[in-house]
Structure 1
Amino acid sequence: MNELTKAEQQVMQQLWKLEKAFVRDIIAELDEPKPAYNTVSTIVRILERKGFVAHEAFGKSHRYYPAVSKNAYRKGFFKGFLNNYFSNSMKNLVSFFAKDRGLSIAEMEELKELLDEEIKKQKSNISEKN
């Protein structure tokens, strides 16, 4: 799956939120300063060409909607991010956030609890299968 540019991400965030929208609806949701109508229209058409967006025609106007769910994009993006920046290692990713991004003790304890719960769940699933 292709990665989105920053401008494409901003438009997709609005489409995911709105579910279906005309270009003017997308613009209304964007932060100031608002981009020009033609700029957003061009971005939407690029997204459609890339397969992220589809449309319904209403005469000469088009109502756009996401062709890729936010969750599907997030999974693909994160997989590429993990591979490109952390050698496809969750351990390297967690280590980066714990050491280089200065997670607080409370945040690390929360993560540890989440991991402990997931370990228990997976062990339970393994023992149920045997």
Structure 2
Amino acid sequence: MQLTKAEEQVMHILWTLGEGTVQDILKEFEGESKPARTTIATVLNILESKEFVKHHTSGRINIYSPVVTKESYSKGQLFGFIKNYFNGSFSALASFFAKEANLSVEEMDALLEEARQTLTDEEKEKLNKK
């Protein structure tokens, strides 16, 4: 599910904090153009209806925490991006990235080796869990 920019901003803050109140989240916004307290509360209500956050109450204060992890959301966004812009092709994405970033052959080899190592490590973890 795609989040709006405001929803993503609040989620990034919650992912960093682990949990927080509306006031805690508001404190994390930088600069003079901080959103209103009611705006943060509204965004949190929307995120809760989308099942991205949950809350518990302490006294009269709601304390919010993420339900969806940053990693899970990021993975979904990345795969959606690859599907929508590169027809689901990782090789098309890698080719585009290599051209746009003007990567050398050595840099591409290093990226591929890192990917291979990550996949090998993940496979080893899966085998150890069985």
TM-score surpassing 0.5?
A: yes
Amino acid at match of 1:14: I
Q: Residue 114 and residue 3 in structure 1: after superposition, are their counterparts in 2 closer, same or farther (change >3 A)?
A: same
Q: Residue 115 and residue 59 in structure 1: after superposition, are their counterparts in 2 closer, same or farther (change >3 A)?
A: closer
Aligned to 1:128: none
Q: CA RMSD in A?
A: 2.3
Runs of at least 5 residues in structure 1 that lack an aligned partner in the other structure: 126-130
Q: TM-score, normalised by structure 1?
A: 0.81
Q: Residue 18 and residue 106 in structure 1: after superposition, are their counterparts in 2 closer, same or farther (change >3 A)?
A: farther
Q: Runs (4+) of structure 1 moved beyond 2 Å?
A: 100-110, 115-119
Deviations 1:89-125 (A, max 9, x none): 1001111111124346664343133145457x39x97
Deviations 1:35-62 (A, max 9, x none): 1111111111110010000000123320
Q: Secondary structure at the match of 2:54?
A: strand
Q: TM-score, normalised by structure 2?
A: 0.81
Instruction: Output the CA distance in 2 between the equivalents of 1:86 and 1:66.
Output: 30
Aligned to 2:4: 5
Instruction: Output the CA distance in 2 between the equivalents of 1:106 and 1:8.
Output: 39
Instruction: Output the CA distance in 1 between the equivalents of 2:14 and 2:118.
Output: 33
Aligned to 2:80: 80
Q: Secondary structure at the match of 1:38?
A: helix
Superposed counterparts of 1:1-130, under 5 Å = 2-32=1-31, 33-103=33-103, 107-117=107-117, 121=120
Runs of at least 5 residues in structure 2 that lack an aligned partner in the other structure: 125-130
